[in-house]
Structures are given as structure tokens and as C-alpha cells.
């Protein structure tokens, strides 16, 4: 594998790491909002936090699907080169 391909893969890994850390922090924030809404007995706020949490989970699934696509692309590329 060429140096450019290795650098490209390392940059992709860094991007994925940052996105996952960001999503994890976002998830914790939504859970905190939901907890505070329950303590305040505010149904509207709790529903909003729940929707944001579901949105966060969908983003995780998009990342997982992208990773699977990336692995499949790598496998196909290696098979094509050999």
C-alpha cells in the first residue's frame, strides 16, 4: 500500500474517532436534559430530549453503516489489486 493510502486511512480513523466522541458527548447531554426534565416534571422538555436522543442513535447507525461500506470498499480494492 502506498504512503498516500496509509495517510488517507489514518485521517479517516481520526475523523471517525472525533465523530464518535462528539456523538457520545451529545448523547450524555441529551440524557442529562431528560433527567432534568423528569425532575422538573416537564413532559414537553422530556419528549424533546427523547427525540434528540433518538436522532443521536440514528447518527450512530449512519456511522456504523459507513464503516461497513468502507471495509467492503477496502476488501474489494485489495481483491482487485491482487
30-68 residue pLDDT tens: 888 888 888 888 888 888 888 888 988 898 898 888 888
Confidence of residue 1 (pLDDT cuts 50, 70, 90): low
Give the contacts of 59 (CB within 8 A, at least 6 positions apart): 23
pLDDT of residue 80: 83
* Cell 447518527 -> residue: 59
DSSP-derived 3-state class of residue 82: coil
Give the contacts of 70 (CB within 8 A, at least 6 positions apart): 12
> Is residue 30 within 8 Å of 52, Cβ to Cβ?
yes
Indicate the pTM of the whole model. 0.66
Domain ranges of the chain: 23-81
Amino acid at each position: 500500500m502506498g504512503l498516500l493510502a496509509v495517510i488517507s486511512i489514518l485521517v479517516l480513523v481520526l475523523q471517525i474517532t472525533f465523530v464518535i466522541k462528539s456523538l457520545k458527548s451529545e448523547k450524555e447531554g441529551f440524557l442529562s436534559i431528560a433527567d432534568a426534565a423528569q425532575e422538573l416534571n416537564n413532559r414537553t422538555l422530556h419528549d424533546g430530549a427523547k427525540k434528540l436522543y433518538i436522532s443521536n442513535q440514528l447518527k450512530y447507525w449512519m456511522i456504523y453503516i459507513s464503516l461497513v461500506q468502507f471495509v467492503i470498499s477496502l476488501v474489494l480494492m485489495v481483491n482487485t489489486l491482487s
